[in-house]
Amino acid sequence: MTADQLVSDSIIPLRTSDSGDDALGMMSDFFVRHLPIVNNKELLGLLSEDDILDHDAVEPVGSYSLSLPRPYVHAQDHLYEVMRMLVELHLTVIPVVDEENTYLGLITLEDLLFYFGQSMPFIEPGSILVLEMGKRDYMLSEIARIVESENATVLSAFVTSRPDTNLIEVTLKINKQNIQTIIATLDRYDYQIKATFQETTYVDTLRDRYDALMSYLNV
């Protein structure tokens, strides 16, 4: 899972001679708020929509003072690093360069989200379980062992911190739709279960509502 798997050249980068109006038009066409400025395969910077609004849109973007640093990722950087850069700098695109810092293309936030959305933890049927615990109490190996003792598997684990506390939330995707025995076992081990989401219940609810609507329309 490295950046070169998602890098694309479908969005043509800006040149220093392009105007702010040119950039706004391209941003509108591709539904992004950032575009790289590239001359002769050299990445010069990343232009934001706000940069254009702070300058004269008829002037070339090469004359602008850019508000962002020169953000980029290397082709062999992990996609987690790509995600970190996008989130940390609030970007809609991130330029990708090779080992010689030659511009290769970019990755859009939309493409990255689509990639993760197509991964097994998201498309595999199952259930979601949210646990709350102290940071020092978190041991994924122990949680996974408990889940596996009930003939299930942890497909993914996502950890978030509670602000201004020593608590964390651990969100688990489990490859089993009926997780009542897992919940009971975790409860015996004194794990605090904050929430559960079972896909079968959600699908059954949608089916019941659909059937009720069809019956109503057939009256």
Say if residue 18 is in the same domain as residue 34. yes
Question: Do the beta carbons of residue 86 and residue 64 sit within 8 Å?
Answer: no
Among residues of the chain, what percentage have pLDDT more than 70? 90
Radius of gyration over every alpha carbon of the chain, rounded to an integer in angstroms: 24
Say if residue 49 is in the same domain as residue 128. no
Domain boundary among 50, 84, 116: 116
Say if residue 85 is in the same domain as residue 15. yes
* pLDDT at res. 12: 93
In a domain, 212, yes or no: no
Give this prediction's pTM.
0.73
Nearest to 107 by CA among 117, 118, 97: 97
On the question of pLDDT at 208 being above 70, the answer is no
Among residues of the chain, what percentage have pLDDT more than 90? 75
In a domain, 102, yes or no: yes
Question: Do the beta carbons of residue 4 and residue 96 sit within 8 Å?
Answer: yes
Say if residue 158 is in the same domain as residue 72. no
Supply φ then ψ for residue 115, to 5 degrees.
-60, -50
Q: What is the CATH number of the domain that holds 138?
A: 3.30.2130.10
On the question of pLDDT at 214 being above 80, the answer is no
Residue 165, SS3? coil
Quickly list DSSP for 82-127. HHHHHHHTT-SEEEEE-TT-BEEEEEEHHHHHHHHHTSHHHHS--E
Say if residue 111 is in the same domain as residue 163. no
In a domain, 209, yes or no: no
On the question of pLDDT at 109 being above 90, the answer is yes
Angle at 160 between CA 199 and CA 108, to 5 degrees: 80
Average pLDDT taken over every residue of the chain: 90
Domain boundary among 82, 116, 150: 116
On the question of pLDDT at 207 being above 80, the answer is no
17: Cβ contacts below 8 Å, ≥ 6 apart? 60, 62
Question: Do the beta carbons of residue 14 and residue 22 sit within 8 Å?
Answer: yes
* pLDDT at res. 125: 84
Q: What are the pLDDT digits (tens) for 39-65?
A: 999 999 999 999 999 999 999 999 999
* Total domains present in the chain: 2
* pLDDT at res. 211: 66
In a domain, 16, yes or no: yes
Question: Can you tell me the distance from the alpha carbon of 77 to that of 112, in angstroms, rounded to the nearest whole number?
Answer: 14
On the question of pLDDT at 199 being above 70, the answer is no
Domain boundary among 99, 116, 133: 116
In a domain, 215, yes or no: no
Q: Which domain holds residue 150?
A: 121-204
Average pLDDT over residues 11-32: 96
